[in-house]
Structure formats: structure tokens, C-alpha cells
Amino acid sequence: MIAAVVLPLMAALGIAAAGQRSPNIREAVTLFAAACLIAVVWVFLPEIMNGQSPRLQLAEMVPGIALAFRLEPLGLIFAMLASLLWLINSIYSIGYMRANREPRQTQFYISFAIALSATMGIAFADNLLTLFLFYEILTLSTYPLVSHKGDKNTIASARVYLGILLFTSIGLFLPAIIWTYQTAGTITFAENGVLAGHLSGVELGILLGLFVLGIGKAAVMPVHRWLPAAMVAPTPVSALLHAVAVVKAGVFSITKIVVYIFGLDQLANNDAATFFLSLAAFTIVVGSIIALRQTNLKRLLAYSTIAQLSYIVMAALILHPIAGVGAALHMVAHGFGKISLFFAAGAIYTASKKTELHQLKGIGRRMPWTMTAFTIGALSMIGLPPTGGFVSKWYVLGGALAAENLVAVTAIILSTLLNAAYFLPILHAAWLQEADAPETENHGEAPLPIVLATVTTAALTIAFFFYQGPVLDLASQMMGISASE
Amino acid sequence: MTLTDHLPALQVLVPLLTAPLVLLLHVRGLPRLAAIAASLTAFAIAVSLTGIVQTQGSASYEMGSWPAPYGIQLSISPFSTLLLLIVTGSSSLALLAGQDKLRMGPQGEPLFYAAWLLALAGLSGIVVAGDAFNIFVFMEIASLASYVLIAGGVDRRALLAVFKYLVMGTTGATFYLIGIGLIYMMTGTLDLADMETRIADVGELRPILVAAGFVTVGLALKAALFPLHVWLPNTYTYAPHMVTMFLAACSTKVALYVLLRFDFLVFQQNLTAHAVQFSIFLIPLAVFAILVASGVAIGERNIKRMLAYSSISQIGYVLLGASLVSVMGLTAGIVHMFNHALAKGALFLAVACLATRIETVRIENIRGIAKDMPLTMMAFVIAGLSLIGVPGTAGFVSKWYLIGAALDYGALGIVLVAVILVSSLMAVIYIWRFVEAAYFSDRQVPLTASGEAPLSLLAVTWVAVLANIYFGLSSQLPVSLASQAAETLLEHLP
């Protein structure tokens, strides 16, 4: 377990040592570490499937509260997803950073590795404080990535990014943790929650609010502003933010807190859960509507992410086991789908420097591989078979229906329509329309590593439709139901 | 008696007796080496005293075996050993870190380091002294010596700053003296423990009340408690960098230590409703200190001055914790003395690193400096995070306790929590301004020399930074000392 956290850190050191002197060695270190990380994380799979839950205590931060890790199903899903995507993302980064001749690449890979280390810490955290520690490290380590370009505009956006995430975490998340500790006497994750019998009614609702809004990384409105702002980052970073680490860390934290701190039963009788469910539903619909109005491809994807994240938050707050499984599945499905979309957007930028929607007419013929991947990603976002997005939506919808939650059902149906409304025109333009003006410069596909990574994630998106395998088992195990139900 | 039994006395005597010897060393560099040796010895003594206290509990030492209240008594408790660790530790780090340019030039070295050792002896003396008058004597030694140290700064404005400090500091000391004079008049004793029992027999409490006022205000002046802080920003800004680091880490905290001892050990149980008045008087002051000083720090363009204002607001934290009059609150306040010393010490060391490459440590001059001095700026960032109170650093531990204590305080506690959080966010702003300038702007002013700071300075800075992380991840030692200290202080409450 400790290896999972330390390995990326070692990689960061190795990358720093290799430095600018030899980019090849530097990138080899990154890839090697990413591959090792996958091995280290996936080795735990059989153990967890057998229902074990190894725990490891490192130090005592404050007497009584340890810096400790514990493996449990949801965390393992998250860690497996992140480690797998780190490898693919690294391959992509190499192509992207070289093709675009980005400056400060060593710093880029170092920050990336530290961010991954923090992600592993979040995934394995045994208590809220450990989670919070790595949550903050993740915020800080991604700041240099977001501000990578270094011009005035970028710095201003990166400041919004850092500002919102730090202010919500220190201003809301931390007090919520301390409050939990004061009332329940513990902040260690436990089955069925730790708050039973300590808090109820309005207080419980306020605490839930502090958590849901304090975890700004989940981008529930109104704390979503940082996500579009962070779009100034290079594309591999956007992919990291949206699919691998940052937003996933947010929704992962919320899901984990709802399940292991509050406990589903505890929240079931509380109006606040309904309120925040409605807020998430609101975010889904409004985020989709805003996405509809975007003219820049990456900003469109950003608002799409905001909407998709709230799916997971909403699924967790439906408080039904099947919806909980849906939340875990959607974390993975959205990860694969969104990373394909971002990879494709970055490939288009690398090959042609195009960033706006109206420039995309006829691009499908020039970049067939990239646009195929984009199409698969888009289908997954809409939730059409044969993509992973269909499976997860199926479970969320099933949970919502089983819980007879009309708000959630309406939001899911509405957003499916809206998703189709903003993705289909792009697909139409890319595949079926002719380019407006003759191209000044001929371009084909992006460099090989980029295409390779993009196609891989798209393939994963489809594969996830046919085989959810361990993810489904783990998620079911977390919710205490058997996979066949 | 073995040597170990004499450690409390040696704690003061080692630096005190080395000081005149240093004066005789006229070889360049030698005075500093002697000072380092004495300071490290003092640190070793403080560490072993901590060990003794942890295993055997508090102890007292009678000078020349004269029993109290006739003889001079030194007291060693968890509280005092924690302070001794801060004082001797920061002195050793500052001395090891390197040498400042001095106003008096190389010839002034023996004088400067003799004054340094006197300041060290004085501050340690205040901490171990068990009677009010010896505290006064050591306080004067420490103050006079630190005036000399501050005046060593090359900037001419250091002289004006030190004069202001001298006037205010002397006023504070006089207030304190008047206070203990009144108590002596009523009780006939100067020993703190003795005082506590004898005040109980005093019929007319009005002079004691007046004395409490004088002592509190006098010490508040020394501790730079808002609104008596005006001497502090300039002194910290213009003093030599190492002196700033040394004094910022410990001098105000030692004054607070005396204040807490007086208020909790002597006055609390004897004056009616003193605890309540203590809270009513100090909570608003602490809140103002935290908010106003943070606000001023946000606007400052000189790093040292910004850090000085931040110190004023951090003193507010210590006081806020103490003024809640609960075990958790006092633990928070006391542990924050330790953690703030770590964070602020590391920050001032990083500033000293910067100062080796630029003329004045102003925001205009540090633009883009992270490219030239990556290690220094990394140290600055981590120490800054500790000051903000990000988990994983020492600063977080005290914030955790402070917020917990405030939540226990009832309805007003929610407001206090809000104050703590708002000021943490303000700290984010005032630290981040400089970080952003260093990392994300282009250099406008040329460096006076290229490359990183000298290795010794950088190494010491990183020792301090790593200590911040170590005590952030494993806070057993300071927290256990602080909570024992808090329990001792509260035992005396009726």
C-alpha cells in the first residue's frame, strides 16, 4: 500500500534527476513507474475480492488520529482506474509535449507524479484527516500543471483554480471534519457510518452541506467555477483533472463520506439529502445547458464534466445500493469516456491547432482514428450502447427508479437529451460536412503516441460495456449486495 | 549530586559564562564558533531536561541548596522545557545558519556574539526562574542584549526601530516591576508558588487587582500583543536576519509564558471571577490581533515586515487558545508557540537565504527568483504552508486543537472558528502573493550574485523545514508537553 503512494514520489525524484539532460530517460522513468504502479495496485485485487481489508498506520498526526491507509473496494476501484490511466496518459503526454514543444517539461512530469501519489493517498485513506492531507497535496501539486503556460491569462485562471479549491477545503471541508470528530469522537471510515446516534435533523443536513460544497473538486454548483478556469492547462493536464485524478478525487471523497461517515440509513430520513440531491440534479441540467452554448471544444467538455460529476454525487445521494454501484461504475465509465474526448481534443490541437467547434467541419476525414475515438467518447457521455456510459447510467437509473426518486429520474432523462443535443452536432459536422474553406496547411493524424493513447482509451470505453468484471464485484461488495441482483 | 541534577542551573550558566569569554576572542570567526558551541550545549541540556521531565515529572532546583522561599528556586516543568526547546533550538539554528553583515563590521563580532549569548541566557533564565524578581532581572538582561543585537542591522533605520523598542520595552518592564512591587508589599514574598498561597491570606484585594493589571499589561507589551505591538514590525524588519529569526521564534513567546504563569498560577484562584475577566478582556484583543494584523500583512511589500505582522496575528492565536480557559484551548495555545516558532523560524531562514542574493527582500526584487533559487523557494513554500496550517505540517496540529477548543466554547465558539478560518485564508493570500511573484513573474532586478544561497544556510533552512513536516506528521512530543502544561495551569483554578 505504502508502495503505491511512495512509488510515484520516487518517480518524481527520478524524473528530477534525469531532468532536462536526457528527456528519454526522464520519460522512461515515468512510464516505468506508471507500469509498476499498476502492478502494485492491481495485486491487491484478489485480496479485496475475498473481503479482506488490510490496514497500515504510518504515524500519528494528532494524538488519536493516525496517518493511516486502509484498502477497501471503492478505494481500490479508484486506484486501479487512476493507475491505469496514468500509464496511458503518460504515453499521450510524451507525444503531446514533444509535438507542441512545451517548455518546462521536467517540472510537468514531476508535478504529474506527485499528483498521482496524492491520488493514491486519497484512494487508500483510512480516515478523513489522511484524506484531507492528500486532498490538499493534490490541489497544490496540480497548480503548477494548470499554470503551465505561464502567461498572465493562465496565471489568473490558475489563481481561480487554486483559490476556489483551497478556500472551500479550508473554509468548509476542514470545519466539517473537525465537527465530525467533535461529535462522533472518530473520523475513521467505518461501515454504516460513524454519525449514527450523534447528529440528526438540521445539524446533519448542515454537515452534509459542508462536505458536499467543501469538496470543491466535485464541482457541484456553485463551486464549479474552477473547472472551466482550469481549461487553460495543456490537454494531458485537463485529462488528468477530468478523468484521472482531481474531479474523481472529489466525487470519490463525497461517495466515501456518504457511505462510510454518514451511512446510507442515517441519511435516508433526512431532508438535506433530498436538497443536495436536487442541487446535484440542478447542476447536471444547468451544466448541460451551458455546455450547449459553448463554442470552444475544451470548455464544452469542461461543462460536460461538471454535469457528469454531479451524476456520481446524485447517484450516491439517491441512497440506494444499486445507485451506489452505479456511482462507482460511472466513476470508471466517465473516466474512460472523458479521457478519450480530451485526448481527441488535444490530438486535434496538436495536428491542426484548432480549438473552436466551427473549425471542426470535415475533420473526420483527415483524422479518422482520432474522431472515431471522439465519437465513442461522446456516445459514452450520452449513455448509448455499446459504451461504458450506458452501463453506469443503467444502474443509476435503476437505483433511482427503485428508490422512486422522481427528481433523479427526470434529471437523468433531461441530461441524456441535452448531452445528445450538444455532442451530435459536433459528430455531424466532423463526419458529414465539408470543410468551409480550403485548408492552408495539410494535416493528418497527430503523432503516433497520441493516437495510440486515444484509441486505447476509446477501446476501454467499449470494453467496459461488455465486461465490468472486478469493478462491478467490488462496487457490489461495497454496497453489501451480491453482483447478480 | 551528579551533574544531571545541576542541569537547570547550567541551562542559564553555560551561555551566561561563555558571554564574557567570547569578548576576549579577537580572532575572526572564533566568537561565532564559541557562541555555537555554547548554544548547542544549551540545546543539549534542554533536550535532556525534556527527557527528565517526561520520565520523572516536574522538578525544582534550589540554587546553592538554599530552600525556597529564602533561596532562589528554578522550576522545570513540561511547559518550561517546551519553551527551553524553542529558545535554545532557534538560537542554535540561527547561529549555525551563517553570519550576517554587521553594522560594526568584523571588529564588532565579539561584542555581537557576547550579546547574543546574554540574550540566550536571559531568555532561558526567564523560563526556568521560579520567582518574580529573577524573572525581571533575566528579562532585563534579555532585553538589553537584544537591543544590541537589533542595532547590529546594517540598515540605519534599525537604530530608530531599536530606540522605539527600547522605550516600549522599558515601559513594559517597569509596569511589570510595579506589579510585583505591589504584590511584594501585600505578601512579602517574590516566589511564585509562595505568592499564590500568601495572597489567599490577604484581606484587601484591591492592590492585588491593580498588580494583576500592571503585570498583564507590562507583559502584553513585551509579547507584542495587539494593540501594544507597534514596536515589533520595524524591529523585525531592520534587525540582522539571524537576529530576526532568533527573536521572532522565541522572545514574544517567553513573555507570553510569564503572562500565562502569572495569570493562571498566581491570580486566577485568588481574584474573584478572574478567569471570566481574563476571557472577556483577552478574547476580543486576540480576535483583533488575528484579523487586523493579517489584514495589514496582506498589504505589505517587504517580506520581513509581512512576516512580522503575521507574527502579531499568530500571537493572537496563542492568546486566543489561552483565553478560552480550557485544557484543550491552553494546549492549542501552548503547542502553537512551538509550531509557530518552527514555521516562522523556517520562513525567516528562507528570507535570509533570499537576502544573500538580493538587496532588499521586497516583492519587486524576488520576482522570478524561483528559477535561480529553487531550493530556497521550495523551503519558503513549505514553511508558508505550515504557517497557513495545511495538514501534514506542524501548523495544522495547533489549528486542529484551536478549532476543537473553540467549538467546545459554545455559541461564541462558532464565531471564533469563523475568525480562525478567515485568518487562515488571509494567510493563504499573504503567503501566496510572494510565492506567485517568485514563481510566475519575470526577473526585473538583477541578482547581486547568481545561484543558490550558501550551502550551510540552505542546509539549516531545510532542517527547519523538515522539522515542520516531521512535527506535522508526528506531533506526540509537543502535544504531550503542551497538554501536561495546560493541565498544570488549570489545576490551580478554583
Q: Is residue A332 part of a domain?
A: yes
User: Which chain A residues have a beta carbon less than 8 Å from that of B432?
Assistant: 162
Query: Is the CB of residue A20 less than 8 Å away from at least one CB of chain B?
Result: no
**A458 alpha carbon, distance to own chain's centre:** 16
Cβ proximity of A360 and A430 under 8 Å: yes
pLDDT tens per residue across span A74-131: 888 888 888 888 888 888 888 888 887 777 778 888 888 888 888 888 988 888 888 9
Q: What is the pLDDT of residue B92?
A: 93
Its domain, for residue A305, covers: 270-485
Closest Cα to residue B152, out of B106, B98, B90, B86? B106
Q: Is residue A142 part of a domain?
A: no
pLDDT at A484 over 60: no
- What is the rounded average pLDDT for all residues in chain B? 87
pLDDT tens per residue across span B365-422: 888 888 888 888 999 999 999 999 888 889 998 888 898 888 888 788 888 988 998 9
Q: Is residue A451 part of a domain?
A: yes
Closest Cα to residue A471, out of A460, A455, A459, A458? A460
pLDDT tens per residue across span B479-493: 888 888 888 888 876
Q: What is the mean pLDDT of residues A155-177?
A: 87
CB contact under 8 A, A182 and B404: yes
Question: Which tops the pLDDT comparison, A275 or B448?
Answer: A275
Cβ proximity of B223 and B315 under 8 Å: yes
Q: What is the pLDDT of residue B91?
A: 93
Q: What is the pLDDT of residue B350?
A: 92
Chosen for mutation from B420, B473, B481 (greatest number of chain A CBs closer than 10 Å) is B473
Cβ proximity of B434 and B366 under 8 Å: yes
Cβ proximity of B118 and B19 under 8 Å: yes
CB contact under 8 A, B392 and A59: no
Chosen for mutation from B390, B422, B430 (greatest number of chain A CBs closer than 10 Å) is B390
Check residue A480 and give left, alpha or beta (phi > 0: left; psi -120 to 50: alpha): left
pLDDT tens per residue across span B68-85: 667 788 888 889 999 999
Q: What is the pLDDT of residue A100?
A: 79
Can you say whether the dihedral through the CA atoms of B260, B261, B265, B269 is positive or negative? negative
State chain A's maximal CA–CA distance in angstroms.
Answer: 70
pTM of the model: 0.87
**Residues of chain A above pLDDT 70, percent:** 95
Nearest to A67 among B404, B421, B473 (CB): B473
Q: Is residue A454 part of a domain?
A: yes
User: Which chain B residues have a beta carbon less than 8 Å from that of A60?
Assistant: 474-476
Return the HEC string of B144-213. HHHHHHHHCCCCCHHHHHHHHHHHHHHHHHHHHHHHHHHHHHHHCCCEHHHHHHHHCCCCCCHHHHHHHH
Q: Which helix (H) or strand (E) holds A62?
A: strand A55-62
Residue type, B135: I
**Residues of chain B above pLDDT 70, percent:** 97
User: Which chain B residues have a beta carbon less than 8 Å from that of A182?
Assistant: 404, 407-408
At CB < 8 Å, which residues of chain B contact A? 385, 388-392, 396-397, 400-401, 403-404, 407-408, 417, 421, 424-425, 428, 432, 436, 439-440, 472-476, 479-480
Q: Is residue A114 part of a domain?
A: no
Give the number of domains in chain A: 1
- Exposed e or buried b for every residue in A408-434, given b needs 16+ CB within 10 A? bbebbeebbebbbebbeebbebbbeee
Q: What is the pLDDT of residue A1?
A: 63
pLDDT at A259 over 80: yes
Q: Is residue A351 part of a domain?
A: yes
pLDDT tens per residue across span B442-472: 777 777 777 788 888 899 999 999 999 999 8
CB contact under 8 A, B472 and A58: no
Query: Is the CB of residue A276 less than 8 Å away from at least one CB of chain B?
Result: no
pLDDT tens per residue across span B277-308: 777 888 888 999 999 999 999 999 999 999 99
Q: What is the pLDDT of residue A202?
A: 81
Cβ proximity of B233 and B297 under 8 Å: no
Q: What angle (nearest 5°) sits at the alpha carbon of residue B183, between those of residues B179 and B189?
A: 130
